[in-house]
Structure 1
């Protein structure tokens, strides 16, 4: 893939199984010390490789931001729900390594993910933010056209506190204005 405008040396590319250890390393601190994920034990590289393969098996994008061979962040789309009527809706997930935040990588990854999912014919993207107080994630999603559609107070308990679950969404392509 070509270089990313505005972020010198960074390339967005599809994730590969060889990235699994880097994906696990980026995700582990989020599981252990933050509330973006409701997991309590970080998955290892083998599990991340399995998750990547599951996304690929659905024909959905799983992207990484790579600088000189180092994965700095990743984003992927997954099916929103399993029932057939949800087949035009995807959910996004984005994680950026702690040392790479504030450079616009999350925005670049999410913009690319939105573009890929739109090109694949999906009509709606959902963001489920596990900690409604995660201002950076909420701001990123809102800046790219996501609107809040629901709040589930006390949906999870992690790190000694109850977490509010925030759902946002945005249309892709023609959204729900025309049949697929």
Structure 2
């Protein structure tokens, strides 16, 4: 397992993983999966970490930060997201991805990280210090 920054060459795998969640679950709150172009736009944004996890050279998951709200006062607050391919679930990769994402977020000046936790992610996020909000 290797965690690294996402590259443009990863976006096909990333889009496929995310599309599976849109198609088969409600955890994304999206009705239509974003296209490859949207994922390309996320790659390389120095303010919003975007990571992938590889196993034997194949991308099997990703974690990224997104702006929480557009108002200036929220510029140091982000939402974290972690998604894994079905075969990678339950192997500890999500916890590792989240840990590295939080480290990278702190380095770029993020002060608050929010997570909307759906469908069983409570334990992994709880281990990273997340708690229930109002």
Q: What is the 5 A alignment of 1:18-33? A: 18-33=9-24
2:26 corresponds, among 16, 20, 35, to 35
TM-aligned CA deviation for residue 43 of structure 1: 2.4
CA contact (8 A) 2:49 2:101 kept: yes
The alignment yields a C-alpha RMSD, in angstroms, of: 1.4
Bigger relative CO (Cα 8 Å, ≥ 6 apart): 2
Instruction: Report the equivalent of 1:146.
Output: 130
Alpha-carbon distance, 1:58 to partner? 5.4
Specify which structure has the higher proportion of strand: 1
Per-residue deviation at 1:30?
0.5
| 1:8-29: CA deviation from partner (whole Å, max 9, x where unpaired) | xx11110011111000111111
Instruction: Provide the C-alpha distance between the structure 2 equivalents of 1:78 and 1:47, rounded to a whole number of angstroms.
Output: 12
Measured after TM superposition, the shift of residue 79 of structure 1 is: 1.5
CA distance in 2, matches of 1:144, 1:75: 14
Q: SS of 1:93's equivalent?
A: strand
- Counterpart selection for 1:47 from 38, 42, 48: 38
Q: Answer whether contact 2:46 2:108 (CA < 8 A) is retained.
A: no
The two structures have a TM-score, normalised by structure 1, of 0.70
Please give the alpha-carbon distance, in whole angstroms, between the structure 2 residues aligned to 1:71 and 1:103.
Answer: 14
- Whole-Å separation in 1 of the counterparts to 2:51 and 2:116: 18
Count of residue correspondences:
134
Q: How does 1:1-180 map to 2 (within 5 A)?
A: 10-50=1-41, 52-53=42-43, 56-57=44-45, 59-129=47-117, 131=118, 134-135=119-120, 137-150=121-134
Q: Is the 8 A contact 1:21 1:44 kept in 2?
A: no
- How far apart in 2 are the matches of 1:117 and 1:127? 13
C-alpha distance in structure 1 between counterparts of 2:114 and 2:76, whole Å: 11
TM, length-normalised to structure 2: 0.92
User: Where does structure 2 lack aligned partners over 5 or more consecutive residues?
Assistant: none
Q: Which runs of 5+ in 1 are unaligned?
A: 1-9, 151-180
